[in-house]
Structure 1
Amino acid sequence: MRVVVAPDSFKGSLPAARACEAIAAGVRRAAPGAEVAAVPMADGGEGTLDCFLAARGGEVVEIAATDPLGRPVKARYALSGDGRSAVVELAAASGLTLVEDVPRDPVNAATTGTGELVADAVRRGAREVLVAVGGSATTDGGSGLLRALGVRFLDARGEDLPPGGAALARLARIDDSGVPPEVRAARFRVACDVTSPLVGPEGAAAVFGPQKGASPGQVRELDAALTVFADVLARDRGVRVHDLPGAGAAGGTCGGLVGVLGAEPSPGAPLMAEITGLPAALDGADLVITGEGRVDGQSAAGKVVSAVAALARERGVPAVALAGGVEGPLDELHALGLTAAFGIADGPRDLDGLKERAAPLLAATAEQVVRLFAR
């Protein structure tokens, strides 16, 4: 029997690699001779860096960078073993958690630190860069990131705009003549799990601005500024990102990367499946077990469980999800290819108790699942 184990992390409890170990232990109890292929997964958010390293090998690089408010911070990214690929998690240098100690400043917060990580990776030889967005403190359209790569954002007098999303309201021209050749030669991809456009009532400022501390007036200010940014991109570069699905991710960072660097946006979970080699691992499998902290109707919208189920269905492989909690209906997940979903709780437990015993509970539930399929 060949079983593929491909869970996301169980947030606050187990990283994806540990979840793989627990599930694999249960599989082997039920089928001692089973071949188990462990493929830790992520959806482009937390854990993306670790999953990349597990799949590709390589190293974690830590450098001095800039937090969303311009303060010094240590941040890390992943560089593949051959040095040609890198993964940068935007939250490492531009995340909301980095500014919890001070009043939030949504109109001036910038993604400069993320750009410093990208620039360092490219200088070291990376020519494929994945930017995993999510958890940002910024709504600057990725302008800070792009500045760190040599792009200038100029007003009508030809002067550089200050950092932050609000300043884009005075944008007249984007000058990329200072972008190094190695940056131009790199392929950029953006992993995101939202479909919000850049601007408008469903855009970056309107949907995510309040989470970053923006008042209703600041939301309007930021949306207007991002609209100016999008207008300049459309006028000078022929790239329309106003209503591009996903362009609003991380305060418009995805839209800025697409418009200026030609980055390729992609839903995070399918992209990580490609990077980790999950499609090849599923060939010839008898069963795939996936999972995450919670499985419900929203899991069909780009989460790891949905991506694994869809790939399994293409290959005729049964797909079972394990989770701390399962709440239906799961009709969309079943339509995508999920065979069944099971909660791992073995009785009444509070959340802390469930988190503490997540590993043995995962193993026990995986064992019972495999006993249904073992032959």
Structure 2
Amino acid sequence: MRKIATIALSVAAVVGMSSNAYAAANSAPADPVKDIAKMYRVKHELKFDLNGTSAELDGKAVQAEKPILKDGRVFVPLRTLRQTGAAASVTWQPAQREVRIVMEQKVMPSWSDLTFKIGSDKIYTPEGTALADETIPKPFIENGITYVPVSALTWLGMSVATKDDIVSWNWSDKIIEVLEPSWGTDEAQTTFTMLYQKDMYEPQFMYPYGAGSWGGGSGKVTDKDIAMDGRLYNRMEFTANLRPGANPMQLYAVSAGTANFTVQRRVADPSVVPVTRTEEGQTYLSLSQPASGYMKVKAGDAIQVAGSILKPNEAFDKVTVVAQKYSPGGTGLAPAVYVKDSQKELAIKDGKFAGAISLSKPGTYLIAVNSPKYIPSTEMGSLSTQWAEFVVEAE
């Protein structure tokens, strides 16, 4: 059941989501003739000599500030952390006597943004909150150089080891390399595959439901132990239903972040495209207007929406028609793709409703027909769900 609300997607929510309206059916034809993406790790290692200034980054000699051994603990200069390339920024704030370290997103650390304060045995979030139950050797300044404990870098996605006066840092970049960023099809579904390094989490694909909400789908492994570029990969296959026009999607994995791609569905005859009804919509809703799930109109034209209720319910007082303009441009997990433009409430009388909504500006719109608020929720009161949708091109 898809509730109409802005959804903050956790890892568990992404992995568990599915929808009959958009999820995969394994019989769909495969459009791309090759894998559209490849997900893998690039390992890095930095080695220091505690007795000198020599260092090696990925097997190549580099200049590095000498680490310090103090009270049996290893401390490293901030500038050495900059040299690794793992940190996006390392900022010293003299007034607060603290250093803020922001890691590159591709490292996928437990914490990507942390602050260390001189003389403090705590680690702080960007909001200034100390990580609970965690203490570290205190950072310090010596000869104008700021040192932080090397052991604390594990919070930033680095594993650290010391043996025979050699300190080793190990980390990896997690990458989803998109090989086929877009393609077109005349079909209502598309099937595609990707490779993922077999010791990483299985990827998911993500699909926008509308303004503020995304869903996801799991795929199926079709091939295993594919040897390529010194790694072993599995191949994952996904199938997704397509709306007319552009279909922005995402690949997502806990171990590698996100990557975007787009599938363009071409429609020669809009009249043959049905209005899409969700599982709940098929149970409760019959639409007589619009007759097609894809139409082209002039900006400002009235779009008629009418229908009837298949199963009466005393809570069914109105349906809400919401126009969402296609306006991609967000970044990160589940970015903004549709922006709410307008909405119209249509009262249900004697099991029927009718009304119109107009689109004032040119563009592509996803029009959702949302149910009355009949779904009980302890925290948010009664909620609605989407019953149907159609696409409109306003010229």
Write 1 or 2 for the structure with the bigger share of strand: 2
Write 1 or 2 for the structure with the bigger share of helix: 1
TM-score by length of 1: 0.21
TM-score by length of 2: 0.20
Q: Which has the higher contact order (CA 8 A, sep 6+)?
A: 1
Rg larger in structure: 2
